[in-house]
Amino acid sequence: MSGAQTAAIPHRTAAPSLPRDLLTLTKPKVQSLLLFTTVTTMYVAGDPSLGLVLLTCLGGALSAGGAGAINHAVDRDIDRNMARTADRPVASGRIPAGAAIAFGIALELASFTLLALAVNPLAASLSLSGFLGYVVVYTLWLKRTTPQNIVIGGAAGAVPPLVAWAAVTGGLSGTAFYLFAIVFFWTPPHFWALSLLMKDDYARAGVPMMPVVRGEDETRRQILLYTVLLYAVTQLPFCAGGFGIAYLIASMTLGAGFIYCSARLLRSADRRWALRTYLFSLSYLALLFLAMPIDAKLG
């Protein structure tokens, strides 16, 4: 890296708090939406007990938290060069990288054990695959090598619906894979909208995100393309008979809103539309997955 890339960004010094730093390592804000898709999918798959829902969510949270902790350690050099992440526990030096990795592995071992014993082995194995996908495929391999990192690596974040379905039914079905595909195709436009806002940080850190490598215009075109693809994918569960009219109305309405935001973003270089598209994408996925159990119960 050049000197400009490796120069650290000044960051605020937080008062030491080990519990808070350990929680930060697990990336709880990122987890919240993934856990929401887990809960809603479980109620689409069947009528799970509250205990099963809580155990599955705990197992998922431990696994995602473990992956997040290892990501903090591996990406500490990148985090130091980005204003948003420079004060993270490992990047700032408050927690040693080795300790973060050990903590992450311990969380994943706890997750696998809990899911395998209290839920079922398939759910445990699927959760482990998401952990390995995020740590090995995305963090260690793709993130630093290709602008398609978030496309391929996004599969790891799409695993929670599969875990949820397996937890309730003991197996997988076509509907479960449709839900996986929805999260998979949602990830690129969601993350690329954010990357437009953080282009300079990624360039400084030497991360080949789409806006850095292909430029902002191409990134906006890709966001619109994937949003249209996402709209098509969201219609598949209805066409296959997995959901009814309530889901159809929600998917069409939310999809039209997402496409509108992406189209406006394509026509405008205004960063406000990148932020609006990013924020809408969060609401989009939450509302779409909320519509699923509502539709299932109405049916």
Structural tokens at position 120: 């079922």
Identity of the residue numbered 129:
S
Q: Check: CB of residue 80 under 8 Å from CB of residue 8.
A: yes
What pTM was computed for the model?
Answer: 0.91
Structural tokens at position 298: 């109405």
pLDDT score of 4 more than 90: no
Mean pLDDT, range 136-152, rounded to an integer: 90
Closest CA to 277 of 229, 219, 213: 219
Closest CA to 36 of 258, 292, 299, 279: 292
The C-alpha angle with vertex 102 and arms to 101 and 104, in degrees rounded to 5, equals 65
Residue whose structure tokens are 């809990």 = 114
CA distance 286 to 280: 10
Residue 291: partners with Cβ closer than 8 Å, 6 or more residues away: 246, 247, 250, 251, 254
Mean pLDDT, range 206-211, rounded to an integer: 92
Give the per-residue pLDDT at 96.
Answer: 96
Res. 269 pLDDT band, cuts 50 70 90: confident
Strands (E), the chain: none
